[in-house]
Structure 1
Amino acid sequence: MYVDGAANQRGFGVGLVVISPEETIIEKSLRLGFSATNNEAEYEALLQGIAMVLKMGEKAVEMFSDSKLVVGQVKGELKARDARMQEYLSRVKRLQPGFNSFSLSHVPRSGNTHADSLATLATSSAGDLPRIILVEHLDRANEVAKGMVHVHEVKAGPS
């Protein structure tokens, strides 16, 4: 699972990309309905990812994040000094025993673009509107693009 959080002037979001052992990809984009720093959004992404995997009944998970801070704190390489970061870290530590195998690794931002795109998408959505996004694969160009396109001439004169 790849996780990412985003905090910007448009809002706060989380992106999750689950790749099953059968290589089925599940994508999730969540808009946070509360203010968060970027580090808090990164922790929210991790917690949402953990919760999603547990709901799926999985007992082993390999997670990837581009947040050096979050990965370092969870692995015990960095201290959580801020009270809010300590609480987020504590929540992660409480959920870890639910897995037979749990790993969290740092990946560069360039290796986490899929989750990043989903997190950014969440920040741009209207918070109170339901949303469905269809993603399709087109094998060939639309007929309009291949053929002649009719253009109507519009003349404008003085008003």
Structure 2
Amino acid sequence: MATVYIDAATKQNPYFSVGAAVIKNDSETFEETYILGNIDNNEAEWATLLRTTERLVEFGITHAIIYTDSKIIVDTFIKNFVKDMRFKSYYNKVNELSKDFSLFLVSLIPREENKHADHLAKTRLYKESK
């Protein structure tokens, strides 16, 4: 089973966002960063979840727990309801991809326990913003 940590970082004025994932599967650990472009941080969190889920599919992973510090994302999966329609397409795509998983959970983690993914996202954002 894979344990996955995701986070996003965003620069303001103009918006520029980067996402990151730490994927731990058996004895392997993969660190991923994604340039997400000109979107706000909430959308960047969703884009990171989608890109990471796509990567899990590419890796052939079918059991995953994804940890995020985004309460909006976790609440959406708990309620099966998208409050902000900007995120509906992300939610639908992730749900569609997750149908091929035997286990797919999205769980809330405190920010202080998500430091590795946060650091990866902020480091890549800093590099891209130079």
Q: Same fold (TM over 0.5)?
A: yes
Specify which of 26, 30, 40 is matched with residue 34 of structure 2.
30
Verify: 1:51 aligned to 2:54, yes or no: yes
TM-score of the two chains, using structure 2 as the length reference: 0.86
Which runs of no fewer than 5 residues in structure 1 stay unpaired?
Answer: 128-159
Which runs of no fewer than 5 residues in structure 2 stay unpaired?
Answer: none
| More helix, by proportion | 2
| More strand, by proportion | 2
Tell me, in whole angstroms, the C-alpha distance in 1 between the residues paired with 2:38 and 2:62: 32
Question: Larger Rg: 1 or 2?
Answer: 1
Letter in 1 for 2:122: T
- Quote the residue 1:108 is aligned against: 110
Aligned residues: 124
- Quote the residue 2:24 is aligned against: 19
Q: Percent identity?
A: 28
RMSD after superposition: 1.7
8 Å CA contact retained: 1:62, 1:102? yes
Q: Give 1:82 deviation, angstroms.
A: 2.2
What whole-Å deviation, never above 9, does each CA across 1:73-99 have from its counterpart, x for those lacking one?
Answer: 02226x422221122211211111010
